[in-house]
Amino acid sequence: MAIKCENISANKSKCNCTYEPCDKKGNCCACIHYHLSNNELPACAFPDEVEKSWDRSFSKFVDAQKKK
């Protein structure tokens, strides 16, 4: 099911996802739905340096928050 988004252009400018073949960039609802269904968080939940690892796990998120 495709989720339509009215703000894709504005969202893309703020998206820190480095996974280039991603078809959900800018479509935050679809991105969040996809990652949560895989027990992950989207790139925007992570600092840029952590996001580059592509480890979107909840445990990686907690580790990143502890280092703040």
pLDDT digits (tens, 9 = 90+) for 22-47: 999 999 999 999 999 999 999 999 99
pLDDT given at position 29: 92
> Taking the CA of residue 52 as centre, how many other CA atoms within 13 Å lie in the half-sphere pointing to its CB?
2
Token couple for 26? 């800018």
Q: The pTM is what?
A: 0.84
Higher pLDDT, 4 or 54: 54
Q: Which residues contact 31 (CB under 8 A, 6 or more apart)?
A: 17, 22, 24, 25, 42, 43
pLDDT given at position 68: 73
